[in-house]
Amino acid sequence: MWTLPEPMLATPVADPALPEGWAAEPKWDGWRALLSWDARRLVLRSRKGTDLEPFFPELRSGTAQLPNATALDGELVVWDAAGRLAFERLQGRLQRRGEGAIRLAEQWPAHFVAFDLLRISGTDATRWTYRRRRAALEALFVDHRLTAPWALCPSTTDPATVHDWLTSWTAVGLEGVVYKRVDGAYEPSVRGWRKYKVRETEEAIVGAHTGSPAAPRTLLLGRYGTAGRLHYIGRSTTLPQASSRDLAPLLTPAPAGHPWTGWTFSAGWGTRETLHVTLVRPQLVVEVGVDVARDSAGRWRHPARWHRPRPDLTPTDVPRFAGGATG
């Protein structure tokens, strides 16, 4: 019996240039998922192997459009009313089954953006070249007139189109691009693709940290709103040991009345684990590398990469918080 393979993976690259002999696809801000529709049985699996089928009833409703014995690789995404990717609308899905899942599907329906073909009408396509898989995937959408919840991921071999994606599409939540060798097969668990993520450096204010005062591990970062309130906007990646040692003397214990007193901070998306943090005086400005992924409140959804401290700046030099909340 045919089973879904492990997903093929991508290696991060620093250069956005499209290599000769490669194709590019947009990198979506959603959940990677592999899908199989076989003998009226839907399998929807996350990259880590989690069974997602009970949480996305809108996909089961759309399987009537698919030919039997077909499998796809793609991304589960939700678009908000403004046409921007809304990753946070996926967050509550793993806690809702049955009627709860149906209600969420009606409020914020997910789409499966297909970017690779693994099987078609019973034929394993993983050994085909990308060029052949892509042509068959496009034919699948045309021949079967696939509509929502199915969407076809764009693909290009034109460098100008890649540049347009990286400069224009980031406004709607595009994370970057994925590169695939046009004559390459689909290799499960192999990092044979490449990915370039749109990143930028920004300043933020340190409001707290994990780890000990002598060796801070990660930084909890904030920005002031227009009404003078310090908003939490994200957490840094783990600090290098040398940076941790250099940073420790710059962090001052928090005074009474710290704006985050009594707050609980999550250890990450999709987990109920909380962080043990030490509050500090919100005076040190740091520079971090961030990508374009944001939640509905404007916070950074991915950990910010540590870059350097900016003791030459004051909190008033940091841009104001421009998220969904006010204050």
- Determine the Cα–Cα distance for residues 17 and 3; give it in Å rounded to an integer: 35
Catalytic annotation, residues: 27
What token pair was written down for 246? Answer: 């250099």
Query: Are the beta carbons of 307 and 289 closer than 8 angstroms?
Result: yes
* Length of the chain counted residue by residue: 327
Is 141 exposed, middle or buried, given 0-12, 13-18 or 19+ CB atoms closer than 10 A?
middle
Residues near 182 by Cβ (< 8 Å), separated by ≥ 6?
A: 21, 22, 23, 129, 130, 131, 157
The token duo for 210 is: 């994990």
Cα(217)–Cα(237) distance, integer angstroms: 8
